[in-house]
Chains A and B, each alone.
Chain A
Amino acid sequence: GAGVSQSPSNKVTEKGKDVELRCDPISGHTALYWYRQSLGQGLEFLIYFQGNSAPDKSGLPSDRFSAERTGGSVSTLTIQRTQQEDSAVYLCASSLGPESGAQGRGSLDNEQFFGPGTRLTVL
């Protein structure tokens, strides 16, 4: 299919270990987003990429979290020294590219499509 793909689909790790989560966006989408959804919680924004740069890292919950994107395509979210509170579903989304301007004038370019997510469990 041509949708957003994420791997692994499930990851179980021990507290203190590092994990890497991967996202492959829809071909041609320049914008890529990471969100987190904890059990019983809403979707929480983590980071946004336009091309390879990350203009907005404001949602990363701590310095243990980092992300990169290379070649304007695949992105990796890395969590170092995982903690139990990191357990959640990590969702990646992509869009054609945000409409210029902070408020987004209203454009199909702003439509974000989500991947299936990675369920992370920290024991």
Chain B
Amino acid sequence: QKEVEQNSGPLSVPEGAIASLNCTYSDRGSQSFFWYRQYSGKSPELIMSIYSNGDKEDGRFTAQLNKASQYVSLLIRDSQPSDSATYLCAVWNDYKLSFGAGTTVTVRA
């Protein structure tokens, strides 16, 4: 079982819609969770961090964490063409980040 798994995508959504990205992790003791956005040919950019169960909102992004279910999600509201990228879920384990394979999102204008 992979440490961090994401829905494989690609995910195509119309402009203005909500994009929903899911991630599960295997280490029940993990405490820190991150979402990175990676544009093609660029390095990952941190967009959200979440440490407690529940929702965390930042602009059009909402991260949701459920430690009992070992589940993290990211919602992108009012999706824009500039949101088209690969989104990486990352989980803190023993000082290093374990990454999912990423979900590629395409926002159709």
For this complex, 11 residue pairs linking A to B, each with C-beta atoms less than 8 Å apart, are A31-B95, A42-B101, A43-B88, A43-B99, A55-B95, A93-B97, A103-B93, A104-B92, A108-B49, A114-B45, A116-B42
Q: How far is the CA of A3 from the CA of B61 in the complex (A)?
A: 23
For the complex formed, measure the closest distance between the CB of B50 and the CB atoms of chain A, giving whole angstroms.
Answer: 9
Decide: A91 and B51 in contact? CB cutoff 8 A: no
Q: Which 10 A-B pairs have the closest CB atoms?
A: A106-B51, A43-B99, A104-B92, A114-B43, A45-B96, A104-B32, A106-B31, A103-B29, A110-B32, A42-B101
Q: How far is the CA of A43 from the CA of B89 in the complex (A)?
A: 11
Q: Does B46 contact A (CB under 8 A)?
A: yes
Q: Does A8 contact B (CB under 8 A)?
A: no
Interface string of A42-58 (1 = CB under 8 A from B): 11010010100001100
Interface string of B69-104 (1 = CB under 8 A from A): 000000000000000000010101111111111100
Decide: A116 and B43 in contact? CB cutoff 8 A: yes
Q: Does A83 contact B (CB under 8 A)?
A: no
- A49 to chain B: closest residue by CB: B95
B residues with a Cβ closer than 8 A to A are 27, 29-32, 34, 36, 42-46, 49, 51-52, 88, 90, 92-102
Q: Does A98 contact B (CB under 8 A)?
A: yes
Also in contact, A111 and B99, with CB within 8 A (given A43-B88, A103-B30, A104-B31):
no
Decide: A48 and B96 in contact? CB cutoff 8 A: yes
Which B residues are in CB contact (< 8 Å) with A25?
none
Decide: A33 and B99 in contact? CB cutoff 8 A: no
Decide: A103 and B31 in contact? CB cutoff 8 A: yes
Which A residues are in CB contact (< 8 Å) with B42?
116
